[in-house]
Amino acid sequence: MSIAKKRREPAWLRALGDRDLPAHLRLADGVYRHARTFKHDFFAATGLYEGRGGRVILKVGRVQPLFGLPMRWLGKLLTHRELMMFQILEGVEGIPRCLGPYDATGLVRVYVEGHPLQKNEQVEDGFFERLEALLDELHDRCVAYVDLEKRENILVGQDGRPWLIDMQICWWWPNGQARGRIGPEHRLPDALGRRLLKRFQFADRYHLLKHHRRHRPDELSSEQMAASYQRGFFVNAHRVLFRPVTLIRRGILKCLTGRSRSPKQDGAEFLDPPGG
């Protein structure tokens, strides 16, 4: 049975508009060739490149105008934030090494062999214990991951270990004079910034337990199982405020593209073929 060809999104829904990722990427050790595009959505295009030094990921933020309004500033802002987060988390096991910027709105990082955590996937023993240790390291560095709610943001490495690869909306609120290096949010009052960090980190731990319950409930104690249902005010407020937006966005995408979910949510069959 033939499979209907996937519809291409309208230009305004794509970070690069009608353009695709570059066919070649020049790094310090030579030229890397585009192998496949993993994702091209409103905020960024992400692709795999192969070269002399192995495989790398190029992520390019939004440059396409939106209804006549310039949006390159958004791509630059989010890329700057993510580059800073990779710098802050450099050396943390489970965070890939960033190789540096690409133009004004992109970055290059090391490729991690693996796949996004899939629905009902049975991960190896100790996977979530290692993921908890990874979150502990982020929290010790005054970082909250923020986007752990989506299981597809958790990468299952080829060796079975957890990785976090998307640093775009992490929240960092350090002590002292280091603030102000990422963006305008660090002009907030210090007490508010620290409170938000604490709330975001609580949400990280709730979402960790939620995923643990759904994928390896046999590893949880009765206390942990009960805690995995205790969302708290901040998580509940987020669901009330943003769930309708998510449903509307999915409806629009379904009408325009025939697909309402992120490619990462449904495995490799949703990714472009090699060379695409």
pLDDT, position 2: 41
Can you give the length of the chain in residues?
276
Domain count, the chain: 1
Asked whether residue 211 is assigned to any structural domain, the reply reads yes
CATH number of the domain enclosing 130: 3.30.200.20
Asked whether residue 81 is assigned to any structural domain, the reply reads yes
Token representation of residue 266: 């449904």
Asked whether residue 28 is assigned to any structural domain, the reply reads no
d(CA 19, CA 85): 28
Closest to 175 measured CA to CA, from 194, 199, 156, 202: 194
pLDDT, position 276: 32
d(CA 158, CA 112): 8
pLDDT, position 269: 40
Show the domain range for 67.
33-270
Asked whether residue 22 is assigned to any structural domain, the reply reads no
pLDDT, position 210: 96
For residue 115, the one-letter residue type is H
Asked whether residue 75 is assigned to any structural domain, the reply reads yes
Asked whether residue 25 is assigned to any structural domain, the reply reads no
CA distances from 93 to 34, 38, 90 (A): 27, 23, 9
Asked whether residue 1 is assigned to any structural domain, the reply reads no
Tens place of pLDDT for every residue, the chain, 276 residues? Answer: 444 445 667 898 999 999 999 999 999 999 999 999 999 999 999 999 999 999 999 999 999 999 999 999 999 999 999 999 999 999 999 999 999 999 999 999 999 999 999 999 999 999 999 999 999 999 999 999 999 998 999 999 999 999 999 999 999 998 765 555 555 566 788 889 899 999 999 999 999 999 999 999 999 999 999 999 887 666 656 565 555 545 555 565 556 555 655 555 444 443 444 333
Asked whether residue 26 is assigned to any structural domain, the reply reads no
**Are 83 and 59 a contacting pair, CB within 8 Å?**
no
